[in-house]
Chains A and B, each alone.
Chain A
Amino acid sequence: MKITPFNSFICNKYEQLSKGLFTTNDSRINALHDKAVKCFSENGLSEEKIDSIQQFAINKIAETAYTIQLTPAPYRPIEEYFRCKIQNIDTHMFAFLNGWYIHKSAPLTIFPNGVIVGSLMEAIKQYPDLVFPYLAKENISSNDIFLALNEALFIDGLFVYIPDNLQVSKPMQLVSIIDSKENLFVQQRNLIIVGENSSFSFVQCDDSLQFGNTFLNNVTEIFLHKNTRFNYYKMENKDANSILINQVFVQQRENSHFFSNITTFNAGHVVNVLKVKLLESFATAKLYGLYLVDKKQYVENQIFVDHIAPDCHSYQLYKGIADDEATANFNGHIVVRPNAQRTEAFQINRNITLTDNAKIMTKPFLEIYADDVKCSHGATTGQLDDEALYYLRSRGICERNAKMLLMFAFAIEIADSVEVESLKARQYEMIQKRLSGELSLCDQCVLHCSHEKLLEFDIDNIFS
């Protein structure tokens, strides 16, 4: 048995929580926690398998006095204190504050059309037969410390159930807010089930209002039944002191269509894990991502697409810009299993570095065991095109704005993938603001608050 400060930290927190602070007495949940915490108490962590971000997190936990908020804050309407720029999309909004579901007196809402949304723990109490066939279906492998961590210590998360044959037109938005001067440690566990022939869009945002050194480790499990369409949008705007681990596990049944767009505007330390299992034929997964990092920010995207059944399609396009001393890491892995004939799987990662000190690491990776497949992967990292810059400047556009136009053009290809029009417009605006240094001027973001607005130019679409 190996006891590191990290392991003992986890075990201590577990001890603390298991004295009645886990909010359910369901033995199955307790068994989940128990099993996961053993990853830390019995085997410890094999140091050879720990990658750099895991090491960073382990060190951070060793040196930071993280605390778990043990009870929810008294109820206040979210509008009173949350005014982030990502808001204002026309959605049904549900929010978590410091790891706790915000609600007035209804931890679980059952809509007339059969949709159920609310606290996962409440759903376990009220609808255990609905939850347990889906919860924690992802096996924890030995080096999956963030998943194990979440499973050991999660207190709550969002539960969404969409019944069969329902087209939900208005997107649902989940906002996870950190508002605390404490160094908060939050493990949020979300579960989304989309019934047969249904369609649904989900927007997930992570924001910080006040910032101690927060450690937010989310797990979201998504189950897509036959003939479903599901759009997953993730937007991240985190301060420099925070660690955000966002893990999404998707399982797709026959002819289901999964679309994701994960956009990181500011990172601190962000890891996005996206694992998609194409379990039955004719399922498709389209995965888009954009990351814009500067200063000393770190963003990592780990993608794993598992082609298990034949005749499935997957497509990945991830793009990023790294400025200053920022680091971006793309790790894309596609496996085509022996049975997955006629698979089409594509993966592209494109990056721009703006300085000599910005770092891009990219690892496109294909593993193919079937012989009748179409697959490709590719990665590029470069600078802005000098010829294009010269061309723009030769028409009177200053160098700074010329660069801005090129970066914007590079980035919006990802925003263009968004199907929800209001969200697309929002993303355009945010990308523009981010690139012009304006997003950080938001009074709720610490990142570059001293920066002045240097730009006089405006990208708009008034004519289109």
Chain B
Amino acid sequence: MLTIKNLHVSIKGKEILKGIDLQVNRGEVHAIMGPNGTGKSTLAAVIGGKESYEVTAGSITYKGKNLFDLSIEDRAREGVFIGFQYPVEIPGVSITNFMRTALDEIRQYRGLEPLTPVEFLKLMEEKKKMVELTTKLTDRSVNEGFSGGEKKRNEIFQMALLDPELAILDETDSGLDIDALRIVANGINQIKNENNAIVVITHYQRLLDYIIPDVVHVLFDGKIVKSGPKELAYELEEKGYDWIKNE
């Protein structure tokens, strides 16, 4: 579903990604691990379409399409979801309006009728339960005044609602306590199925206790230097990233 070939990306002339190759198929869960500053978040941002990143070489193909031909919003409408490491606070925009506008536009793109208010409300309640969100979202602006854990749960809530085919979750586990981590992981596991694919970007192996990856990749200095089965994560946790550096 997602094929990344020899991807080189720079920010303001500085090369961050130096030749990434990655193949993700439907039904798979991939974990990308690696130390700080090696380009993990850059990879998520480039897939999301964030401007200010310059792709200097390589390609990303998603469902047979050149991903770079799609606008930010069209990527989302084609089923790409980016879970943000730092979800933005947007005062004044309620989560309800945000999600309803997003879902309407996505459905319109796919030639579907918009949900009726009642259908939408039902869907929202259902997905809220999935991530144990109890707050009345209508009263709250997007991420405004949310705790770190609430922000991440809100990301997974959005993911559940938009039901993507490919989710890139950028350090969704960072800043979570054990309970929140469990809730978030449970949410992700419920969304996961044989038709979608999930890429989790993380520093730590602990998220992978809950979400079992099919493949673990180690990203170091802008390249994937090692890929392997889930046991690779344990090995990394045990030996530290220096082990990779020294190899």
Report which A residues bind B (CB closer than 8 A): 385-388, 390-399, 401-402, 405-406, 408-410, 412-413, 456-457, 459-460, 462-464
The CA-CA distance from A406 to B93 in the complex, in Å, is 7
Do A409 and B93 contact each other (CB < 8 Å), given the known contacts A394-B76, A463-B138?
yes
- Pick from A387, A394, A459: contact of B72, CB under 8 Å: A394
The CA-CA distance from A395 to B76 in the complex, in Å, is 6
| Residues of chain B in range 133-168 having any CB-CB distance to chain A below 8 Å | 138-139, 141-142, 158, 162
Q: Name A462's closest neighbour in chain B (CB-CB).
A: B117
Do A463 and B102 contact each other (CB < 8 Å), given the known contacts A412-B92, A413-B92?
no
Structural contact, A390 and B50, CB atoms closer than 8 A: yes
5 cross-chain CB contacts under 8 A? A395-B76, A397-B105, A409-B90, A459-B101, A462-B117
Contacts A410-B92, A456-B104 known; 14 new A-B pairs at CB < 8 A: A385-B88, A391-B87, A391-B142, A393-B72, A394-B48, A395-B99, A395-B162, A396-B77, A397-B101, A405-B90, A412-B92, A463-B117, A464-B138, A464-B139
Do A391 and B84 contact each other (CB < 8 Å), given the known contacts A396-B76, A410-B92?
yes
Which B residues are CB-close (under 8 A) to A398? 73, 105
Structural contact, B92 and A396, CB atoms closer than 8 A: no
Pick the 8 closest A-B CB pairs, nearest first: A409-B92, A396-B76, A395-B102, A393-B72, A396-B106, A391-B88, A463-B138, A409-B93
CB of B141, distance to nearest CB on chain A (Å): 7
B234 within 8 A of A: no
Which A residues are CB-close (under 8 A) to B77? 396
Q: Name B117's closest neighbour in chain A (CB-CB).
A: A462
The CA-CA distance from A394 to B97 in the complex, in Å, is 15
Query: Would you call the interface of chain B mostly helix, strand, loop, or mixed?
Result: helix
Which of A396, A401, A408, A413 is the most central at the interface, judged by chain B CB atoms within 10 Å of its CB? A396
The CA-CA distance from A85 to B208 in the complex, in Å, is 57
CB of A51, distance to nearest CB on chain B (Å): 33
The CA-CA distance from A402 to B88 in the complex, in Å, is 14
Count chain B residues whose beta carbon lies closer than 8 angstroms to a beta carbon of A.
Answer: 39
Structural contact, A388 and B76, CB atoms closer than 8 A: no
Structural contact, B98 and A395, CB atoms closer than 8 A: yes
Structural contact, B102 and A396, CB atoms closer than 8 A: yes
B46 within 8 A of A: no
Which A residues are CB-close (under 8 A) to B94? 464
Structural contact, A457 and B101, CB atoms closer than 8 A: yes
B82 within 8 A of A: yes
CB of B187, distance to nearest CB on chain A (Å): 17
Which A residues are CB-close (under 8 A) to B121? 463
Which B residues are CB-close (under 8 A) to A410? 92
- Pick from A394, A405, A464: contact of B93, CB under 8 Å: A405
Which B residues are CB-close (under 8 A) to A401? 101, 105
Q: Name A402's closest neighbour in chain B (CB-CB).
A: B73
B39 within 8 A of A: no
Do A459 and B73 contact each other (CB < 8 Å), given the known contacts A394-B82, A406-B90?
no
Q: Name B120's closest neighbour in chain A (CB-CB).
A: A463
Q: Name B96's closest neighbour in chain A (CB-CB).
A: A463
The CA-CA distance from A408 to B101 in the complex, in Å, is 13
CB of B125, distance to nearest CB on chain A (Å): 11
Which B residues are CB-close (under 8 A) to A394? 48-49, 72-73, 75-76, 82, 84
CB of A392, distance to nearest CB on chain B (Å): 7
The CA-CA distance from A408 to B142 in the complex, in Å, is 14
The CA-CA distance from A388 to B93 in the complex, in Å, is 11
The CA-CA distance from A391 to B87 in the complex, in Å, is 8
The CA-CA distance from A456 to B91 in the complex, in Å, is 23
Which B residues are CB-close (under 8 A) to A413? 92
Q: Name B107's closest neighbour in chain A (CB-CB).
A: A396
Q: Name B159's closest neighbour in chain A (CB-CB).
A: A395
The CA-CA distance from A393 to B73 in the complex, in Å, is 5
Structural contact, B84 and A457, CB atoms closer than 8 A: no
Structural contact, A396 and B162, CB atoms closer than 8 A: yes
Structural contact, B105 and A408, CB atoms closer than 8 A: no
The CA-CA distance from A460 to B91 in the complex, in Å, is 16
Do A387 and B101 contact each other (CB < 8 Å), given the known contacts A394-B49, A394-B72?
no
Which B residues are CB-close (under 8 A) to A388? 88, 90
B38-82, CB under 8 A of A: which get 1 and which 0? 000000000011110000000000000000000111011100001
CB of B153, distance to nearest CB on chain A (Å): 16
CB of A67, distance to nearest CB on chain B (Å): 45
The CA-CA distance from A387 to B71 in the complex, in Å, is 16
Q: Name A416's closest neighbour in chain B (CB-CB).
A: B92
| Residues of chain B in range 11-57 having any CB-CB distance to chain A below 8 Å | 48-51
The CA-CA distance from A405 to B105 in the complex, in Å, is 14
Which of B76, B99, B117 is the most central at the interface, judged by chain A CB atoms within 10 Å of its CB? B76
Do A387 and B108 contact each other (CB < 8 Å), given the known contacts A397-B102, A401-B101?
no
Q: Name B137's closest neighbour in chain A (CB-CB).
A: A463
Q: Name B89's closest neighbour in chain A (CB-CB).
A: A388
Which A residues are CB-close (under 8 A) to B96? 463-464
Q: Name B90's closest neighbour in chain A (CB-CB).
A: A388
Structural contact, A393 and B76, CB atoms closer than 8 A: yes
Q: Name A456's closest neighbour in chain B (CB-CB).
A: B108
CB of A91, distance to nearest CB on chain B (Å): 28
